[in-house]
Amino acid sequence: MKTYLVGGAVRDRLLGNAVKDRDWVVVGAQPEDLLRANYKPVGKDFPVFLHPQTGEEYALARTERKTGRGYHGFAFDTDASVTLEDDLRRRDLTINAIAEDENGTLIDPFGGARDLDAKLLRHVSPAFAEDPVRVLRVARFAARFAARGFRIAAATLTLMRQMVSSGEVDHLVPERVWAETQKALTESTPSAFLRALRDCQALARLYPEIDALYGVPQRAEFHPEIDSGVHTELVVDMAARLAPSDALIGWCALVHDLGKALTPKDQLPRHHGHEHSGIAPIAALNARLKVSSEYAALAQLVCKLHLLAHTALELRPATVLGIFEQLDAFRRPDRIEPFLLACEADKRGRLGLEESAYPQAQFLRAAFAAAAEVGAQPFVDRGLQGPAVGEAMRAARVNAIAALTPKSAS
């Protein structure tokens, strides 16, 4: 029985990145061997075990055989005769198919280290096409490594296109699409995820509401990039810059302008009312991908309210209070910061305007803090009851915001 460090830990060490998680493959063993050594079994589809001291994952070397469509259409073989190279061959990308033995020696039968040097995302074998999740994974790795100059190999992109045209990606379950989307939104360049999926035609298949934004013009004086799809790419990258690794803000940024794809052509490049027309496609996308409730709710609120946030310095105090009330922020104060960061990402996610100021966020933070200071007890102490307490609180909150509001908006 021999164990090897595999996958991301080896890749990240070669890239000079911090190694967060370490995964191991065990060659020449049966499940009983690991159970006798007090490893804890955790794998559902194939034998994976947790080390009794470190808690790290140890998987038996395996091969897989396609038995049906989609992610679950595989049969696995974990016989002790399966070799390390057999196990590495089933992996997605060459940069993830490198192993390291106990002496630190690399086992790299598919040229992963060479592809790291060449900044290339390349599939290991034709078996890549058997698992549709790999289309999303390659796009996600593109988002992770775009800033380093990595690109998808031409042959791999061709294979991804074939997987889309054959209908293989149509068998992806919503939960897996959403999981990969969330992960992509935590990467440094989420726009590369969108571009990779668009390059292989998967964006239109999996996220038609987002794909529909490409080619839709906007007013150049507000959006020098003009194209709504390009704007969306800039916004998700700005969200990643403002709130690194925050998929909630990334999701709000990704879908905030879906209404622009529905603007009648005779109204272009204006998009009057897009903040309202975008609610329905966001709801459809949320439902189809089974997006978690808080992501779904805040995404729709950002869509509905982002234009008000942009004009916050000109709004009447009562309208500003209305933003907070629609966010349900007095009960959910945790929504304020994600909302403001998503709005700032939208405002700064424009060609040449990346370094522009967004004083609206500072004002809205201060306005909410002032309004939140108003409580019910003073009005109860004055003898008010029922709805009168709420009315008095609202009036006091408006006054608190008015004290901070620029005179031009009063």
Same domain? For 43 and 101 the reply is yes
Residues 113 and 129 in one domain: no
- 44 pLDDT more than 80: no
- Looking at residue 383, what is its pLDDT? 87
Whether the per-residue pLDDT at 43 is higher than 90: the answer is no
Question: Domain for residue 244, yes or no?
Answer: no
Domain's final residue, options 85, 117, 149: 117
Q: Of the candidates 156, 155, 126, 129, which has an alpha carbon nearest to the alpha carbon of residue 141?
A: 156
Flag whether 64 is in a domain. Answer: yes
Structure tokens at 239: 């969200």
Whether the per-residue pLDDT at 47 is higher than 90: the answer is: no
Average of pLDDT values for 148-171?
Answer: 96
| Domain contains 131 | yes
Whether residue 323 lies inside any domain: the answer is no
Q: What is the pLDDT of residue 368?
A: 98
Q: Give the mean pLDDT of the chain.
A: 93
Residues 182 and 90 occupy one common structural domain: no
The per-residue pLDDT for 101 is 94
33 and 93 share one domain: yes
Q: Are residues 112 and 127 in the same domain?
A: no
Same structural domain for residues 107 and 3? yes
Number of independent structural domains in the chain: 2
pLDDT at 377: 87
Tens digits of residue pLDDT in 340-381? 999 999 999 999 999 999 999 999 999 999 999 998 888 888
Among residues 20, 91, 76, the alpha carbon closest in space to that of 43 is found at 76
pLDDT at 42 over 70: yes
Of 193, 222, 251, which residue constitutes the final position of a domain? 193
Is residue 19 assigned to a domain? yes
- Residue 119, pLDDT > 80, answer yes
pLDDT mean over 140-164: 97
Tell me what pLDDT residue 153 has.
98
Do 124 and 50 share a structural domain?
no
CB count in 10 Å sphere of residue 144: 21
**Domain edge (last residue) among 193, 216, 236:** 193
Is 71 part of a structural domain of the chain?
Answer: yes
Mean pLDDT along residues 201-230: 97
Give tens-digit pLDDT for 248-294: 999 999 999 999 999 999 999 999 999 999 999 999 999 999 999 99
CATH number, position 180: 1.10.110.30
Q: What pLDDT was estimated at residue 340?
A: 98
Which amino acid is present at 357? A
- Same-domain pairing of 109 and 127: no
pLDDT of residue 71: 53
Q: Tokens 């967004």 sit at which residue?
A: 358
Same domain, 14 and 103: yes
Q: For the segment 50-95, what is each residue's pLDDT rounded down to a tens digit?
A: 999 898 999 998 887 665 555 555 566 778 788 999 999 999 999 9
Same domain, 91 and 131: no
Q: How does DSSP classify residue 64?
A: E
The reply to whether 45 and 130 lie within a common domain is no
- What is the C-alpha to C-alpha distance for residues 3 and 339, in angstroms, rounded to an integer? 47
Task: Using alpha carbons only, give the angle 367, 370, 372 rounded to the nearest 5 degrees.
Answer: 105
DSSP notation for 205-231: HH-HHHHTTTT-B--TTT-TT-BHHHH
Per-residue pLDDT, 157: 98
Which residues partner with 6 through β-bridges? Answer: 23, 99
CATH number (domain holding residue 4):
3.30.460.10
Structural domain boundaries enclosing 143: 119-193
In a domain, 211, yes or no: no
pTM: 0.90
Task: Round to whole Å and give the CA distance between 319 and 310.
Answer: 13
Domain match, 102 and 140 both: no
Question: Which of 345, 361, 311, 312 is closest to 231 using CA atoms?
Answer: 345
pLDDT at 75: 65
More confident residue, 179 or 20: 179
